[in-house]
Amino acid sequence: MSSTRKNVIITGAGGLVGPLLASRLLNDPNYHLILTDLADPIVPAGVAYPENATLLKGDITSPAFVSELVAAAHPLHAVFIFHGIMSAGSEANFELSLRVNLDSVRLLADHLRVSNPGVRVVYASSQAVYGKPLPEIVTDAVTPTPEGTYGAHKLMNEIYLNELHRRGFLDVFTVRFPTISVRPGKPTAAASSFLSGIIREPMNGVECVVPIKDRDFKSWMSSPKTITENLVRVLNMESDKLPKHIRHINIPGVSVSVQELLDALAKYGGEDKLQFVKEAPDAAQEKILRSWPSAFDTTTPVGRLGLAVDESGEELVKQYIDSLKK
């Protein structure tokens, strides 16, 4: 085995972010990926080194499977923790979120701190750790006050992982994702799913239901391309870029309204696509959506940590529609 080989575990590899990152890393011969999910993970198409991927299907809540997973990655370079139940799904099933979003992360982290002390861990958290009252722009000084099960369990993991880093057990960065749009594929159990569906479904001639009747409603968003770039930058980031007990990064994004998304859909996809957008308020979904921030101060992630940021909401839509033409 090459001395430069870097073994990286990606959990939740069958979702959106896992395949995006895998596609990037599997174009570098130095990375060997262990891709795992409850469903059969797959090697992304078109990568330069597909042979550098090992696929492991299994239940991340099982101690036996976690042991098997970590052993398969020896010697371990890094772990990306992407698995989880999404926001609306977590709110609908507290026990499932507790088991998958919280208990399994502690199980994996505790195994890693014993078997691979000091290993780099990148944990995918969310803007859902925040809740009201919220300022117009969220700064590093704003205290997370989640208003949903998903955000609460994410924040609980953040605190535990901070402590593991502070004590020197692991080398942790927590990335708080904005809404990723435009996601390819199918709708998810996230309250924010429509923020991709409002573009993706009409481009396929399929109806998208928008659960909030407020076209001025804004969301903090980032493109799949920029999310992937920022994950690679965090993977290679010097550990001392953040204090030992503060390990979260609010991943930069752009604040985009529903109307801006509709305007971009008409501009790049055609006005005829607007007929597939249906506005049908859903009180439960709207409550979750309105508890999240719509804008963040990017001084730390962009200015100090050197992360990338998208140009505009219109550019997010253009990127996706252009990708359909390839």
What distance in Å separates the CA atoms of residue 288 and residue 279, rounded to the nearest whole number?
17
What distance in Å separates the CA atoms of residue 310 and residue 290, rounded to the nearest whole number?
23
Q: Please pick, among 31, 150, 268, 320, the residue that the annotation labels catalytic.
A: 150
Phi, psi torsion values for 219, nearest 5 degrees: -130, 150
Compute the residue count for the chain.
326
User: Cα dihedral angle (90, 91, 96, 98), rounded to 10 degrees?
Assistant: 80
Active site residue 123: no
Q: Which residues contact 238 (CB under 8 A, 6 or more apart)?
A: none
Q: What sign does the dihedral 78-22-156-145 (CA atoms) show?
A: positive
Q: Which residues contact 224 (CB under 8 A, 6 or more apart)?
A: 16, 17, 20, 180, 182, 183, 184
What distance in Å separates the CA atoms of residue 176 and residue 172, rounded to the nearest whole number?
13
Cis preceding-peptide flag for 133 (omega within 30 of 0): yes
Report, as residue numbers or ranges, the catalytic residues: 150
